[in-house]
Amino acid sequence: MALSTHRIPPSGQPEVKSRSRHFSMVRDFHLADFFTLGNAACGVAGVFLAMLAMAGSDAPDPTYLLIAAAFAPAAFILDIFDGRIARWRQQHSALGRELDSLADVISFGVAPAALAFAAGMQGGWDAVILAYFVCCGVSRLARYNVTAESMADEDSGKVKYFEGTPIPTSVILTAMLAVAAWQGRVGNELWGGVWNIAGWELHPMALLFALSGSLMISKTLRIPKL
């Protein structure tokens, strides 16, 4: 006698297996999450344009550098809007927080470093400093995600301050690179020129990235959150 493959629950009706919906992750996105993804897309565009600026000639193309830099404030605006939309619609989630951090790493960490490299910071010491800058940004965002709940105000539940400077402050560095590109000060013509230290080249402008990264991972520097 063949046995039925359906398990009959106490109600007498066959059990219906749940099926995963197509694009179920996208369906779970909130409106703010799409602004966050727009932020990430701006960062990727900035990286691509920085690569284009280096293609085809020995000197970087200032036009591509300027367009790449323009995506930084666009990403910054989207980063502001995603937070405000989430608060307005009261739709906060762990997924949204992680998306925000990953997007910020691209737009305000990797993209500025790629733009600086394309603009002429291609020496050995430059590369070390730019890698340090990105690692500081990643570390700062990871620390914020872990400590945000412990730093939240008991009454409002909101974080009152940032430990270290927020990673979007790197738009200042991007703006400086844009001005340099606009003036034609790229390659070894970058402000401050180029130094040779122990056989490796260093552009003094790269030290600004070292300073920015160090400020991001500072625990003693506290920035009030508006």
Locate the domains of the chain by residue range. 30-224
Q: How confident is the model at residue 1 (pLDDT cuts 50, 70, 90)?
A: very low
Average the pLDDT over 34-53 and give the result: 95
Given this model, what pLDDT does residue 4 score?
Answer: 45
Predicted confidence band of residue 12 (pLDDT cuts 50, 70, 90):
low
Give strand ranges (E) for the chain: 161-163, 195-197, 200-202, 222-224
Smallest Cα–Cα separation from 122: which of 194, 28, 177? Answer: 194
For residue 173, give the nearest of 144, 123, 212, 126 by alpha carbon: 212
pLDDT attached to residue 43: 98
What pLDDT was estimated at residue 179?
97
Strands (E) across 45-179 are located at 161-163
The domain 30-224: what is its CATH number? 1.20.120.1760
pLDDT at 58: 78
**Segment 133-186, tens digit of pLDDT:** 999 999 999 998 888 766 655 555 566 777 899 999 999 999 999 999 999 999
Please identify which residue in the block is written with the tokens 């998306």.
Answer: 99
| Closest alpha carbon to 188 in 136, 99, 133, 121 | 121
Summarised one tens digit per residue, pLDDT across range 61-120 is 999 999 999 999 999 999 998 777 766 666 666 677 888 999 999 999 999 999 999 999
Q: How far apart are CA 72 and CA 110, in angstroms?
A: 11
41 pLDDT higher than 50: yes
Contact, 133 vs 169, CB < 8 A? no
Look at 48 and 94; give whichever has higher pLDDT.
48
What pLDDT score does 162 carry?
Answer: 78
